[in-house]
């Protein structure tokens, strides 16, 4: 039941295949999120991510609230819900990460935007980005940014060598105004950084409240209601209307 509540998005979730075989190669990812802050889409996208986390090699979950009150405790709360749903999820796959592992890679990043120069001092989150990026691997580390770029900018400042080891997918749009300084720093000092800036297409994952059909006003009742603890929590944001604004970053 739980596995299918976001079935409409399943076909878009990335699985890379090796040239030699059909064995799936999981993308290495690190998510930087302002979850728990001013925008509920991070909670909805985090619920969706956790339910498909068996498809990724997750190396970090960093709380980077450049604006608002978000912090790592909100990531941990979502993991607690995931832990309750895990027995049901395991019926569909035996490669879901353990809750304790996810907790171990959840880190606190900068609280508040970086100053004019675009960086300030290292955080637990920015140091973790560096550590993950420097791991020996023939695959890049995808840094999926759901909020501000402050911890990414700090990591690049402190360890410029990682720019060739990471690929950034940033959900921009309104997030640009919360981390203008770090964005400007990255653009000026790392012009060759592999960087996707999504400023519009994420809107395709936001319900059209003027069109109350099964995919908008009735989406929760049709597809999510009864879908475990993560499904129940989903209704706490926008009364269950979908705003999965950060989910496109997972389609790498």
Provide the residue ranges of all domains of the chain, joining segments of one domain with +.
2-250
Handedness of CA 92, 252, 123, 233 (dihedral sign): negative
pLDDT of residue 84: 98
Q: Do 72 and 63 touch, CB atoms closer than 8 A?
A: yes
pLDDT value of position 100:
98
pLDDT in tens, 196-210: 999 988 887 887 776
For domain 2-250, the question of CATH label 3.40.630.30 is answered with: no
Q: Is the pTM of this model over 0.85?
A: yes
User: What CA–CA distances, in Å, run from 101 to 113, 130, 204?
Assistant: 29, 19, 32
Whole-angstrom distance, CA of residue 25 vs CA of residue 18 = 7
Angle at which helix 72-89 crosses helix 41-51, to 10 degrees, equals 30
Q: What residues in the chain have per-residue pLDDT under 50?
A: 1-21
Q: Name the residue among 12, 25, 17, 16 with its Cα closest to residue 52.
A: 12
Residue-level pLDDT at 20: 46
* Rounded Cα distance, 170 and 173, in Å: 9
Q: What is the pLDDT of residue 36?
A: 85
């Amino acid at each position: 039941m739980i596995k299918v509540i976001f079935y409409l998005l399943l076909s878009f979730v990335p699985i890379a295949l090796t040239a030699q075989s059909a064995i799936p190669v999981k993308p290495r990812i690190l998510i930087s999120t302002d979850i728990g802050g001013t925008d509920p889409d991070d909670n909805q996208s985090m619920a969706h991510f956790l339910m498909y986390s068996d498809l990724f090699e997750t190396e970090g979950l960093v709380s980077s609230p450049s604006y608002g009150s978000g912090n790592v405790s909100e990531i941990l709360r979502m993991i607690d819900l995931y832990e309750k749903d895990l027995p049901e999820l395991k019926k569909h796959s035996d490669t879901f990460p353990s809750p304790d592992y996810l907790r171990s890679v959840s880190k606190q990043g900068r609280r508040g935007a970086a100053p004019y120069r675009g960086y300030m001092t290292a955080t637990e989150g920015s140091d973790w980005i560096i550590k993950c990026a420097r791991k020996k691997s023939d695959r890049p580390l995808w840094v999926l940014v759901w909020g501000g770029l402050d911890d990414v900018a700090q990591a690049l400042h402190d360890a410029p060598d990682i720019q060739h080891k990471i690929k950034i997918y940033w959900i921009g749009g309104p997030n640009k105004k919360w981390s203008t300084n770090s964005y400007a720093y990255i653009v000026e000092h790392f012009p060759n950084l592999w960087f996707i800036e999504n400023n519009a297409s994420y809107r395709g994952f936001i319900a059209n409240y003027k069109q109350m059909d099964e995919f908008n006003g009735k989406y929760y009742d049709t597809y999510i209601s009864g879908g475990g603890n993560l499904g129940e929590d989903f209704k706490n944001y926008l009364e269950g209307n979908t705003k999965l604004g950060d989910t496109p970053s997972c389609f790498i």
